A = this chain, B = another copy of it.
């Protein structure tokens, strides 16, 4: 089976990355691209890196409607709140719609979406056909939906992907205690998109690390929803994003209070180094993680003692996870690394496409990351 693929919003960074991955996918035939800003132009005039690789692309950059018409499956990489009509059309035509915006990440919870994104759903009923597209969490739901007709994927945000994969085993296995989970994360600058802006101007973000939107980033409710769902009870989340001078990559460092931690009563002003018992506890937690993910094609629980690094997943769909505890044994510390443009956006979207069509889940996503 060879699919004709449509990408609405192909000239943003996530759209360009989708284009790159879909072009290399062995089960895609034609590729139809839309862009409001560059309608009529060739993709390689906007992205010269594509020169010589455009044989599958049919025509220049088109209107979204033409893309939907020509495609068997439609990806949308648009700003939040503008793609629902395209989703509706796809549902009516029974074409899978894989949405990289936040519009379909909150299921029926219109209230939370409206509170954070400023307006409610236009077509709430579409959520009956939508699933949150984190395959490691939701693979079966996606398959069921696809088997029964139209399907819309709310492709997860980049930070929520790293955070949820990092916390899932602890939350699902009941290791996490009652307190808030803290997600402290750094993102590469491609996360800010293609449009030049002061915050992404080379001289001001090179050689700089800085937090942003502290206490108010829109990915907070998405992370919290995912955590609560996995745990089966409300899970408070504190999330702080940072900008780091790398092109690609998210490194999330996640602090999860342990349910069965020894009562944490420090009697001295300064702690001791981790004891043998603490080291053994860490190794046991690592084993839980390794077991949990042992069949996942894209989650690599690193050997005990290693630490997740963004450069080892660059340009791949992997999520690398390392498992640690603090010196007192009170808190599980998980480092989770993804490429924000691949597992955090375009690669995961293609993984969802593979699930919907029953392809090998790693089809088109087999690129091996280079270390440098």
Question: Chain A interface (Cβ within 8 Å of chain B)?
Answer: 13, 16-17, 20, 23-24, 47-53, 106, 109, 112, 115-116, 179-180, 182, 184, 186, 188-190, 194, 196-198, 200-212, 214-216, 220-222, 224-225, 228-229, 234-238, 240, 242, 244-249, 251, 253, 255, 264, 266-274, 278, 282, 297, 300, 302, 306-315, 318, 320, 322, 324-328, 330-331, 333, 335, 337, 341, 366-372
Contact = CB atoms under 8 A, between A and B. Distances in A.
3 closest Cβ pairs, A-B complex: A228-B269, A210-B309, A208-B311
A371 B240 contact: no
Contacts of A51: 300, 302, 320
Given A200-B202, A271-B220, A327-B215, A209 B251 contact: yes
Contact of A202 (B48, B189, B238): B189
A204 to B, nearest CB: 6
Nearest to A282: B215
Contacts of A202: 189, 200-202, 205-206, 245, 247
Contacts of A240: 184, 253, 333
A128 B314 CA distance: 43
9 contacts: A112-B272, A184-B253, A203-B371, A204-B372, A238-B330, A240-B253, A242-B253, A245-B245, A315-B370
Given A24-B367, A236-B271, A368-B24, A208 B246 contact: yes
Contact of A209 (B182, B186, B302): B186
B269 A234 contact: yes
Nearest to A206: B247
A312 B327 CA distance: 33
A17 B371 CA distance: 9
A109 to B, nearest CB: 7
A51 B341 CA distance: 20
Contacts of A268: 112, 234
A331 to B, nearest CB: 6
Contacts of A266: 234-236
Given A16-B371, A210-B307, A372-B190, A251 B255 contact: no
Nearest to A191: B203
Contacts of A337: 209-210
A11 B320 CA distance: 22
A272 B186 CA distance: 23
A221 B328 CA distance: 12
A349 to B, nearest CB: 16
B200 A203 contact: yes
A160 B109 CA distance: 43
